[in-house]
Amino acid sequence: MAGTTDVWTVRRVLEWTIEHLKKNGSDTPRLDAEILLAHSRGCPRIQLYVQYDEELGDDERLKMRELVKRRAAHEPVAYLVGRREFFGLDFEVGRGVLIPRPDTETLVVQALELAKLMEAPRVLDLCTGSGCIAVSIAKNCPKARLTALEISPAVADFARRNIEKHALGERVELLEGDLFQPVDGREFDIIVSNPPYVPDGEIATLDPDVRLHEPELALRGGADGLDIVRRIVTVSAKYLSSTGALLLEISSEQAESVVKLFEEHGGFQPARIAKDLSGQSRVVWARRKE
Ligand code: GLN
């Protein structure tokens, strides 16, 4: 962008950025360019369309140049702008936190279907990360009380801010620790989790955006990806009320093995599979045997 005396209008910066990102690391160059420019200018993306002929200020141009450079090095847009939408809600994200994915909305939909049938559901969200699952459930089911658990203190800070941002401090409690340890002796009606489930051998094959920038702690799930899933299935029945249900996000290749894990456990009714919007098996869930 530097080294020219031409005027850098919104239109020209967008065109330049789209071309640059097309060749350097983005599958969605137009969307990325618009989000980054709107962020640099501090305006909603939609407003760019009526600002095409406006010239960028020096600050905005410098800011944009830095962001485009980072995006071309595969840094996810969500980290660059510090936020991401999930289930129609805005979440603060940043380095160290898994970026909420649309696939995970399947888990929320499924949990809400169950929660809405209950009187005052107590919901536990394990490996909460940004807190997007717990917050989305709480927002859409006012009678639910949530407990969100996170092992990493730095990540828990993001979850805490997201709970505050959505004014849910009264109904969403955040605890730090490893899986069930901080809730020992308590009982829940629904347990949800999007645990790390990528098999060790697949980490190297992930998209560079994910592989180079997102936290391995939230992704790596051991040899077959099911280390944490196995731990959750094994102990969760102990924390479920007699009509309680466990819902887990998994990859489509793992669905059948996870159904089997539930079955082998013996404490669950037959497990079911829910598909995401692209038709992939994404959630396995089952009720406890009464
Ligand atoms: N689906 C995620 C991915 O994009 C994996 C998330 C997880 O391990 N919980 O890689």
Instruction: Give me the long-range contacts of 162-171 (CB less than 8 A, separation at least 24).
Output: 162/91, 162/92, 162/130, 162/131, 162/132, 162/135, 163/131, 163/134, 163/135, 165/90, 165/91, 165/92, 166/89, 166/135, 166/138, 166/139, 168/135, 168/138, 168/139, 171/138, 171/144, 171/145, 171/146
Whether 249 contacts 263, CB under 8 Å: no
- The dihedral through the CA atoms of 150, 197, 204, 130 has a sign that is negative
Ligand 1 centre distance from Cα of residue 189 (Å)? 25
Answer yes or no: is the C-beta of 198 below 6 A from any ligand 1 atom.
yes
Does the structure show a pLDDT above 90 at 274?
Answer: yes
Which of 27, 86, 98 has most ligand 1 atoms within 8 Å of its beta carbon, as the pocket-test mutant? 98
Question: What is the pLDDT averaged over residues 13-34?
Answer: 96
The mean predicted confidence, pLDDT, of the chain is: 96
pLDDT, tens digit, for every residue of 51-105?
Answer: 999 999 999 999 999 999 999 999 999 999 999 999 999 999 999 999 999 999 9
What are the φ and ψ backbone dihedral angles of 72, each rounded to 5 degrees? -65, -20
Whether 288 contacts 268, CB under 8 Å: yes
Please report the pLDDT score of residue 111 as a whole number. Answer: 98
Please report the pLDDT score of residue 25 as a whole number. Answer: 78
Ligand 1 centre distance from Cα of residue 122 (Å)? 26
Answer yes or no: is the C-beta of 126 below 6 A from any ligand 1 atom.
no
Query: For residue 196, what pLDDT band results from cuts at 50, 70 and 90?
Result: very high
Q: What angle do CA 187, 191, 196 make, to 5 degrees?
A: 135
Question: What is the pLDDT averaged over residues 259-288?
Answer: 97
What percentage of the chain has pLDDT greater than the value 90?
97
Rounded to whole angstroms, the Cα distance separating 84 from 190 reads: 26
Question: What is the pLDDT averaged over residues 167-191?
Answer: 97
Answer yes or no: is the C-beta of 196 below 6 A from any ligand 1 atom.
yes
pLDDT, tens digit, for every residue of 93-147?
Answer: 999 999 999 999 999 999 999 999 999 999 999 999 999 999 999 999 999 999 9
Please report the pLDDT score of residue 119 as a whole number. Answer: 95
Q: Which amino acid is at 290?
A: E
